[in-house]
Amino acid sequence: MAFDTISWLGILGLGAACGIAGQTARVVVGLKKAQDAAAADPDPEAAIKSQRILISLLIGAAAGSLAGIYTLDDPNMVSQEEVLGLIAAGYAGADFIEGVMKKLKPPTT
């Protein structure tokens, strides 16, 4: 389907926002695990790094945007299931990106 530029930007923006939301859920789980581990064994190397969190959120945004491009048929009519799918793609992040790249990769002969 051919969309105009504004529609593509809407798809990318919605996908990125949902991807960040999904990856934020993953970050929260990771922070809780890190807090529990730090209470049991305080190790300065296990400190939470904000750069790593930022990269994680960017991966979620990229995964959500790719999912939006790949799955949304009509940017003006997005269902709740599609939004939840974009959030799930953001949560899965790098795994989702790897799967999309494998699927889009042309077959080798």
Report the chain's mean pLDDT, rounded to a whole number: 84
DSSP 79: -
pTM: 0.77
Euclidean distance between CA atoms 92 and 62, whole angstroms? 11
Reply yes or no on whether the pLDDT at 60 is more than 80.
Answer: yes
Mean pLDDT across 19-44: 81
* Closest by Cα among 29, 30, 39, 87 to 60: 87
Reply yes or no on whether the pLDDT at 17 is more than 90.
Answer: yes
Structure confidence at residue 47 (pLDDT): 58
- Among positive and negative, which fits the CA dihedral 41, 60, 89, 108? negative
* Closest by Cα among 103, 93, 104, 105 to 16: 93
Reply yes or no on whether the pLDDT at 92 is more than 80.
Answer: yes
